[in-house]
Amino acid sequence: MLLKLTGSSCSGKSTLAFAVADRLRDVVVHDFDEVGVPRDPDHHWRHRMTELWVRRALEYQERGLDLLLTGQSPLGEVLAVPSAPKVDGIALCLVDVADEIRRARLAYRDSGRWDASAVDAFLGWAAWHRGHARDPRHRPEAITNGSAPDMVWHRWIDWTADDPRWSTHTLDTTDEPISRSVDKIEQWVVEQRAAHRSGRLPLTLGWVGRTHSG
């Protein structure tokens, strides 16, 4: 299955994923950006790379392994890439942090790289992620406008927030020790894999064709 840690920059996604890697059996960990990031990444690039990583999840799936992937692609993008319906299970967790902490981390990690407008864009992207995690109707144009031509948005664009398939767990790391956040990520992964094995995971094979009566 594909287990995805999503969210805006400097929330701690990669730190948590690689810290928990040795605790999990039959799970491989990758960072979305390890394949290389262009100077000015756009929607097309992120959508193409999301498809690449979903295909990688399928390769691991054939070997009996699950993929824990970090990156900024939200649930709507993951579900819309061409190969998503072939993955036998999908689960997402939004790793979030308070704006003032994200701002400080950006300044520390990339000192002098971002001007005020760029930092505000990161914070705005984080706010959008929160809304998207709660409701598929929250400004979908933020990811659908100018998208790659092979994205299949109609798979979920008419869903509502009460559809069980629209499920993104949220982990807020604000004022929390890293060790505690790592424990919570481990717990989330264990729970999602157990739900997958028992047939309780909403996004399993066939999710595209299912209907939700509300």
Q: If you search the block for the tokens 């730190």, which residue do you land on?
A: 15
Whether 167 is in a domain gets the answer yes
Q: How many domains is the chain built from?
A: 1
Whether 214 is in a domain gets the answer no
Degrees (nearest 5) of the Cα angle 116, 117, 118? 90
Whether 213 is in a domain gets the answer no
What's the pTM?
A: 0.92
pLDDT in tens, 187-208: 999 999 999 999 999 999 999 9
Whether 46 is in a domain gets the answer yes
Alpha carbon 54 to its chain centroid, in Å, reads 12
41 has pLDDT over 80:
no
39 against 32, higher pLDDT: 32
Residue 24's CATH number: 3.40.50.300
Q: What share of the chain is helix, strand, coil (3-state, %, to 5)?
A: 50, 15, 35
Residue 198 phi, psi dihedral angles, 5° rounding: -90, -5
Structure tokens at 162: 């009460």
Whether 210 is in a domain gets the answer no
Predicted pLDDT at 213: 56
The residues near 69 (Cβ < 8 Å, ≥ 6 apart) are 2, 3, 4, 5, 17, 29, 30, 31, 32, 53, 57
DSSP string, 122-187: HHHHHHHHHHHHH-TTS-THHHHTT--TT--GGGTTT--TT-TT--EEEEE-TT--HHHHHHHHHH
Whether 212 is in a domain gets the answer no
pLDDT in tens, 105-164: 887 776 667 677 888 888 999 999 999 999 999 999 999 998 999 999 999 999 999 999
pLDDT in tens, 63-94: 999 999 999 999 999 999 999 999 999 999 99
For 93, the domain range is 2-204
Degrees (nearest 5) of the Cα angle 131, 134, 136? 80
Whether 69 is in a domain gets the answer yes
Predicted pLDDT at 116: 78
Whether 143 is in a domain gets the answer yes
The residues near 130 (Cβ < 8 Å, ≥ 6 apart) are 94, 96, 170
Q: If you search the block for the tokens 């927030």, which residue do you land on?
A: 161
